[in-house]
Amino acid sequence: MKKQKVSSPVIRRLPRYYRHLNDLHQAGVERISSNALGNSLGLTASQIRQDLSCFGEFGQQGYGYNVSTLRDEIADILGMNRGHTAVILGVGNLGRALMENFHFDRSGVALAAAFDVVPDLVGREVSGIPVHHVDHLEEYLAQHPASIGVLTVPGRVAPGIANRLVRSGVKGIWNFTNIELSLAAPDVVVEDVHFADSLLALSYMISEVP
C-alpha cells in the first residue's frame, strides 16, 4: 500500500465506495468495471481510478474490480479491521439515539461504555452498554483503553471532557456538540458533525430549484 498524503475529499469518498461495494457483494455481484462503479455513484471512471491509486493498484484491465476483494481492501484502508473501541460521553436524547440505533460494529468500532452524570442513568445499561459516572472516566480508560470518544454532551462542558479524553489516550473525537474544539494535541483527530450545516445546505439547494 502506498504511503502518501491523501486529500480529505478522497478519504470522504471511500465510505461511499465501501457501502456500494458491500451492497453489490450482498446482491451476489462478483466484479464491476470502473465505468459501472462510477455511473452508479455519480462519479467518473477516472475519478474512481485516481482515488484508488492513492492506496495501491487495484483491478485488472479488461476485468475490472473483484467486488469482495475491493470491498475488503477499502475496509482495511478505513481501519475497519483494527479493533477500534469507542466510549460515548452523554446519554441524553442524541447519545441514547446513537446507542440504540447506530450500528457502530458495522463500521468496525466496538462501543464499550457510556458516561453521564444523571443518577437515574448511572449504573444502568442502554442497549447492552453500561453507563458509568463521568467522574470515573479516567479510571475506566486506564483499565479499558479506547481510541475514539463520542461527544454528545452539552457544549459548555465539551472542551473539558474532550481534554480529559485526550489525556487518557483517546486518538479521535466524534464531536456532535456543535462547538469547535481547540485541543493542544495535534495528533488527536476531531470529526465535527453539524446537523444544521447539512440542513442549511439542503435549504440552499432546494431554494435554487426553479
| Residue 200 burial (10 A CB sphere; 0-12, 13-18, 19+) | exposed
pTM of this prediction exceeds 0.75: yes
Quick one: pLDDT at residue 63? 74
Give the pLDDT confidence score for residue 56 in this predicted structure.
85
Place of cell 469547535: 180
Cell numbers for 112, please give them: 464499550
Average pLDDT over residues 27-42: 94
Least confident of 48-57, 59-68, 94-103: 59-68
Distance between terminal CA atoms of the chain? 47
Tell me the average pLDDT across 25-33.
94
pLDDT of residue 3: 46
Q: Reduced to 3 states, what is the DSSP secondary structure of residue 86?
A: strand
Task: Work out the average pLDDT over 186-209.
Answer: 90
Quote the cell numbers at residue 27.
446482491
Phi-psi category of residue 192: left, alpha or beta, with phi > 0 → left and psi -120 to 50 → alpha: beta
64: DSSP letter: B
Cβ–Cβ under 8 Å, residues 173 and 162: yes
Q: What residue type is assigned to position 175 of the chain?
A: N
Q: What is the pLDDT of residue 2?
A: 45
- Match 470491498 to its residue by C-alpha cell: 71
Backbone φ and ψ for 131, nearest 5 degrees, come out as -105, 120
| CA 200 remoteness from chain centre | 22
Alpha helices in 107-157 (DSSP H): 137-143
% of the chain with per-residue pLDDT over 70: 96
pLDDT at 182: 86
Q: Could you please report the per-residue DSSP string of 9-30?
A: HHHHHHHHHHHHHHHHHHTT--
Q: Which of 85, 98, 105 is nearest to 175 (CA)?
A: 98
